[in-house]
Amino acid sequence: MTGFFARRLLSAIPLLLGISLLAFLLMYLSPGDSLSEARASRDISQEFIQQLEQERGLDKPWYVQYTRWLKKTATGDFGYSWTYKTPVSQLLGQRVVATLCLSVCALTLAWVLAIPLGVLSAIKKDKLFDRLAALFAYSAISIPSFFLALLGVFFAAKTGWLPTGGRTALDHDFLPPAAQAWDYLKHLALPVLILAIGSVAGMMRVMRANFLDDMQAQYAITARAKGLSYGRVMFVHVLRNAINPLITSLGFALSGLLSGSVLVENVLNYPGLGQLIYDAIVRKDQDVVLAAVMMGCVMLLIGNMLADLLLAMSDPRIRLEKSSASLRWDKKRFLSLGKIAAALLLVCGAGLGVYHATPGVQKIALYALGAVVVGAGALCVGVLLWMIFKLFARLWRPLLKKPLGFASLGVLLILYLLALFADQVAPYPAQLPNLEKFYHPPTALVWQEGKLCVQQYALTDAVTASYEKMPGQTIPLKWFSDGKLFSLDTQDTQARVYLLGADGTGRDLFSRLLYGARISLSIGLVGISITFLMGFLVGGLAGYFGGLTDFFAMRGVEFIMAIPSLYLLLGLRSALAPHFDSGQMFLLIILILSFIGWAGTARVIRGMALSLRQRPYVLAAQACGASTARILVKHFLPNLASYLLVAATLSIPGYILGEAALSFLGLGIQEPSASWGLMLKDAQQLKIFMLGFWWMFLPGLAIFLTVISFNLLGDALRDIIDPKMKL
Amino acid sequence: MNVNEPSTALLEVRDLRIGFRSRMGGPLNEVVHGVSFSIGKGQVLAVVGESGSGKSVSALSLTKLLPSPPACEVSGTVRYGGRELLGMNERALREIRGRHIAYIFQEPSTSLNPVFTIGWQIKEAVNLHFPKKENVRAHVEKALADVGIRDAARVYDAYPHELSGGMQQRAMIAMALACEPAILVADEPTTALDVTIQKQILDLLKTIRREREMAVLLITHNFGIVADFADEVAVMFRGDIVERGKTADVLKNPQHPYTRALIACIPMLGDTRQRLTTIDHAQLEALS
């Protein structure tokens, strides 16, 4: 047992070193440092800043700074937070406890809910309970966590039952111990519930699938043949087996919670690790970022180790001592290793060269990179569309028989059409404000004199932004004029039709939703194309060649998967963003999301390629002298196509949610452009909660609708292609 | 052709029909069409037939181990010791299962629950049927020793994956015999084992049956193991029993063409034929 822990911890050291180096480089590459603010203010003298620079070692090159940091950390000194003016260890101490509290409570609650729900819906398969549970699961998977958190805060603000944020009440320190504990619990309730709902759905579906499989197992019949009662067979024999895969997923669940908690902590103003990392990245508080990312990774590693330990306890077939196959080293291996290292160095060197080059060269390099990205993206989308077309030619008939799948396909088609024709359907441009009509409620439509007319409103109280109908004052709509589907038939340029209300500067929410749809709906498609092409190339080649290629590809994949994805997203975003203007931000977001997303796909495809490689028809093709490229395209791709289609449909939501999350944190699409996540950010104001401007939450609903449609469509496609597919 | 007097039979099955539905509200697909047979005390009846002929489902249906309606419909009568099993409620049936009619299955590695120890799984059955028994561990270890497991104390604490296939099947048999049932239903007990282990398991079953005077319903597709074990043979073909009688008679003088075809399929030592015999189903169908 101790040997197992020692080995695991030792093997984690290179991973931690790599992650710290990556975090450090990202921090270094992003412009500005912790002194940027001080430099900008005039009353701090130049000498003082230089003195600070020397103190913090900012005048040294990056490798000197990094080794200095490493040396300090190795001695247990995590450094000093320049924004909070406290030692990092002290800061982390409080935050880690808060986040652990949150994650562990949420995970426990998720398990407590997911296991009985999954078991019951397996036992009552296809009955009403199962259907309702599935409905809940689909909804819970499809709702963005920050939107749920917003709704939670809205609910808490309206009812006053729970605090709307923070970790303690203002008068916490003056309360007796029992009341203090109660205060903690009350503040934990909302974030725990929101995080748990997010993960309960996935676990429940896994539990249900496992339980259904194990119910059919031969040992269940043996147990019944012994004379055991149905309950004992199900809850002792089957449950003990069905729970094991769930235990395996514990590590990933913890990682997901750590990532997801950034958003929930942000909305609920909960002082946890995620919030700290986010703030520190934004403020360039170097020591805090490094220490907190390390902390997050260590927590993740411990979670994985705990999962392995629990699994070994629960499943006697698993042995902890099992070590992975070791690699034999010979001359050939060293040569190819050298090649890989040289290629990596070349890429890094080119990157650094561009970074230090003149602006002109930088611009050329950026445009070249952009051209490559756009070209690759276009190629990927082309390949994907071609595959989708080929598959749908085969699949549309069975899809007609699945009402839910067909309906979600219909919803998606309508959404895509609306986004495509946003210029025509939207009555106003996305950026057109009307400062007299801030937070205008949705306008009522009335039927008058054979025409559809729009009710007019008057502002009655500017403080609470309340509007009243002006009786008898309506403006008729005119259809199909000036290239618009509909517009107001009036000369008054200040009159507006707000189908879904207006935001704080009087912009039409309906129009903004349509323009925002362009971003949300395309980001998934483009992102998934890049991800899958990369995943297919890396995973396919790794599985096909095996050996050293496989070894390095998989270590790379594990490296990317080991970093909590939202931290990586934040880091990459802040390192790269200043080099791009807001128009290129869209491309950048796709690039970052794909960079994080391809790893999981590559791993799955590698597994499939490994098994495909053994198939006789692949051997036959090799025997005929077919080239690697030909085997990959002609033999692997068609066999993986249906899997890829289902996986793609089911992973598009990840991109939509990722963009929404970034924009929601203010790091994605920037004002005045419209994006659903960005629009939800506007809704994060106490004023909106208090005054009940419900229409500000509609972007969340739009995300929810899109994501649930993709999920339902993906499941329907999977049922058609292969009901036993594990996804 | 019925050798047993109905009154002395321990288990009597009349007009057993089994049908499956693959979808809700779908058509009923009958796979066993009115089978009748009986087993006397201490007697061995072998049901022989190829895969898909309905042997295993017939055996499982005796104590209603098949899925419940509407997925699966069972009709007919199964009388054990004068009691009707098919009409019994679940609670009363649980008394029969394991205590009076015990099962061993084809694949020992999947029939034992992988996450519990062998001892725990046998103990569970003993505790269930003899709740007042003291020192259950000793009883279980004796049951394990009775099936030829030498270090019973070690096997008691072993998990199924730590045992070989033959040992797993022995453990399965020990589990079935631990509650001293009157009938043992052995559903292809040797199919998943290699030939030397097959012989050991069959010899074990023979000894146990002789010592305990236990009736055995042996289900197999292999005529070879029937000859020196079963008292009687019933040949099943596509959901019907096509021939029944004393083992020696059936083997020596098979009446039904299917039986003849099955017997012809047994490879013989010293046989000079170049090809293995197969069953010509088209010809059989023309005959029946």
pLDDT of residue A324 exceeding 50, the answer is no
Mean pLDDT of chain A: 80
Q: Does residue A154 or residue A58 have the better pLDDT?
A: A154
Choose among A13, A18, A118: nearest CA to A560: A18
Q: How far is A101 from chain B (nearest CA, A)?
A: 32
CA atoms within 13 A on the CB side of A52: 15
Cβ proximity of A216 and A274 under 8 Å? no
In three-state secondary structure terms, B46 is strand
Quick one: pLDDT at residue A725? Answer: 56
In 3D, which of A711, A388, A709 has the Cα closest to residue A517? A709
Which residue in chain A is spatially nearest to B185 when comparing CA positions? A225
Packing angle between helix A145-159 and helix A177-215, nearest 10 degrees? 140
> How far does B115 lie from chain A, in Å, by closest CA?
6
How many other CB atoms are found less than 10 A from the CB of residue A258?
A: 27
pLDDT in tens, A225-240: 988 988 899 998 999 8
Structure tokens at A256: 């997901």
Confidence at residue A326, expressed as pLDDT on a 0 to 100 scale: 43
Q: Which residue has the higher pLDDT, B252 or A587?
A: B252
pLDDT score, position A336:
63
Residue B98 has its nearest CB partner, among A221, A227, A237, at A227
Q: pLDDT band for position B155 (50/70/90)?
A: very high
Mean pLDDT for A158-169 is 77
Q: How far is B169 from chain A (nearest CA, A)?
A: 13
Which residues of chain B are at the A interface, by a Cβ-Cβ cutoff of 8 Å?
24, 60, 63, 65, 90, 94-99, 102-103, 105, 107, 110-117, 124-125, 128-129, 159, 161, 172, 175
Report the distance separating Cα A681 and Cα A420, nearest Å. 24
Cβ atoms within 10 Å, residue A556: 14
Per-residue pLDDT averaged across B96-112, rounded?
89
pLDDT of residue A413: 92
**pLDDT confidence of residue A330:** 56
| pLDDT value at residue A346 | 81
What is the rounded CA–CA span in Å between residue B165 and residue B169? 6
Least confident of A26-40, A44-58, B97-111: A26-40
pLDDT tens column, A558-589:
777 767 666 777 777 777 666 666 667 777 78
For B117, which residue in chain A has the nearest alpha carbon? A316
Question: Shortest CA distance to A662 belongs to which of A278, A143, A141?
Answer: A278
pLDDT over 50 (residue B3): no
Q: Residue B126: what pLDDT?
A: 92
Smallest CA-to-CA distance from A502 within A430, A426, A453, A437 is with A437
Q: Per residue in A22-38, pLDDT tens?
A: 888 877 777 666 677 67
For residue B273, what pLDDT band results from cuts at 50, 70 and 90?
low
Residue appearing with tokens 């009403």: A128
A175-222 pLDDT, tens digit each:
788 888 888 888 888 888 888 888 888 888 888 888 888 888 889 999
Question: Can you tell me the mean pLDDT for B243-268?
Answer: 83
- Mean pLDDT within B224-246: 86
CB contact under 8 A, A222 and B63: no
Q: Which residue has better confidence, B282 or B1? A: B282
CA distance A62 to A51: 18
| Residue B5 pLDDT exceeds 60 | no
Please give the C-alpha separations between residue A89 and each of A79, A245, A277, A288, A567, in angstroms, as whole numbers: 8, 36, 14, 9, 20
Please give, rounded to a whole number of angstroms, the shortest distance from the CA of B10 to a CA of chain A. Answer: 19
Distances A692 to A440, A501, A696, A723, B13 between C-alpha atoms, Å: 12, 12, 9, 44, 73
Identify the closest residue of chain B to A219 by CA–CA distance.
Answer: B111
Q: CA-to-CA distance for A306 and A341, rounded, in angstroms?
A: 34
How close A317 comes to chain B (CA, Å)?
7
Residue A43 has pLDDT above 80, yes or no: no
Asked whether the beta carbons of B210 and B35 are under 8 A apart, the reply is: no
Nearest to A484, CA basis, from A522, A416, A429, A419: A429
Cβ of A130: how many Cβ atoms within 10 Å? 17
Query: Which residues contact residue A344 at a Cβ distance below 8 angstroms, ignoring those fewer than 6 apart?
Result: none
- Best residue in A212, A218, A226, A229 to probe B by mutation, most B CBs within 10 Å? A226
CA nearest to A122, candidates A204, A242, A208: A208
Q: Which residue shows structure tokens 């002194």?
A: A35
- B30 touches B273 (CB < 8 A): no
> Among B64, B80, B111, which would you mutate to test the A interface (most chain A Cβ atoms within 10 Å of its Cβ)?
B111
At which residue do the structure tokens 């469509």 appear? A713
Six-digit token string for A365: 């390099």
Model confidence pLDDT, tens digit, residues A99-139: 888 888 988 999 999 999 999 998 888 788 988 988 898 88
Residue of B nearest to A226 (CA): B98
- Among residues B22, B34, B23, B99, which one has the least CA distance to residue B61? B34
pLDDT at B119 over 90: yes
Q: Which secondary-structure segment (H or E) carries B76?
A: strand B72-80
Q: How confident is the model at residue A267 (pLDDT cuts 50, 70, 90)?
A: confident
Query: Least CB-CB distance to B161: which of A126, A217, A317?
Result: A317
Q: Is B104 helix (H, G, I), strand (E, B) or coil?
A: strand
The answer to whether the Cβ–Cβ distance between B115 and A228 falls below 8 Å is no
- The CA–CA distances, whole Å, from A407 to A280, A716, B248 equal 45, 11, 66
Q: Is the peptide bond before B70 cis (omega within 30 degrees of 0)?
A: yes
User: A723 pLDDT band (50/70/90 cuts)?
Assistant: low
**Angstrom distance (rounded) from CA B184 to CA B111:** 16
- What tens digit of pLDDT does each residue of B42-64 get? 889 999 888 778 888 999 988 88
Give the count of Cβ contacts less than 8 A between chain A and B: 74
A331 CB within 8 Å of a chain B CB: no
Interface of A with B in 238-297 (CB under 8 A): 240-241, 244
* pLDDT tops 90 at residue A591: no
Which tokens in the block code for residue B209? 């049956």
- Write down the pLDDT at residue B112: 92
CA distance A286 to A55: 14
Residue from the list A223, A225, A314 with its beta carbon closest to the beta carbon of B113? A223
| Residue A378 touches chain B, beta carbons under 8 Å | no
Taking chain A, what is the end-to-end CA distance rounded to the nearest angstrom? 33
Nearest chain A CA: its distance from B93 CA (Å): 8
Residues with Cβ within 8 Å of residue B60, at least 6 apart in sequence:
A221, B66, B187
Look up residue B142 and give its two tokens.
């004796």
Question: Do A369 and A591 form a contact (C-beta atoms < 8 A)?
Answer: no
pLDDT on residue A524: 83
Cα dihedral sign for A249, A250, A252, A257? positive
Closest-CA residue to A296 (of A3, A662, A15): A15
Per-residue pLDDT band for B258 (boundaries 50, 70, 90) equals confident
Cβ pair B65:A227 closer than 8 A: no
List the alpha helices (DSSP H) in chain B: 55-61, 90-96, 108-111, 118-129, 136-146, 152-156, 165-177, 195-212, 247-252, 257-264, 281-287
The sign of the CA dihedral A540, A545, A546, A551 is negative
- Per the listing, tokens 């004029």 go with A481
Average pLDDT over residues A648-661: 84
Supply the DSSP string of A33-60, one letter for each residue.
-TTHHHHHSTTS-HHHHHHHHHHHTTTS
pLDDT at A260: 67
Asked whether the predicted pLDDT for residue B6 surpasses 50, the reply is no
Give me the helix-helix angle, A547-562 and A582-613, nearest 10°. Answer: 140
Identity of the amino acid at B244: R
Q: Secondary structure of chain A: what % helix, strand, coil (to 5)?
A: 75, 5, 20
Report pLDDT for A429.
86
Q: B231 in helix, strand or coil?
A: coil
Least confident range of A241-245, A330-334, A403-407: A330-334
Q: What is the 3-state secondary structure (H, E, C) of A201-259?
A: HHHHHHHHHHHHHHHCCHHHHHHHHCCCCHHHHHHHHHHHHHCHHHHHCHHHHHHHHHH
Contact A219, B110 (CB under 8 A): yes
Tokens standing for residue A334: 């060293």
CA distance B41 to B43: 5
**Range list of H helices, A86-217:** 88-123, 128-142, 145-159, 177-215
Of A226, A244, A314, the CB nearest to B125: A226
CB contact at 8 A, B212 and B174: no
Q: What confidence category does residue B1 fall into, taking pLDDT thresholds of 50, 70 and 90?
A: very low
Report CB contact under 8 Å: B65, A225.
yes
Tokens of A198: 């997010």
pLDDT of residue B260 exceeding 50, the answer is yes
- pLDDT tens for A410-468 read 999 999 999 999 888 888 888 888 888 888 888 888 888 778 888 888 888 878 888 88
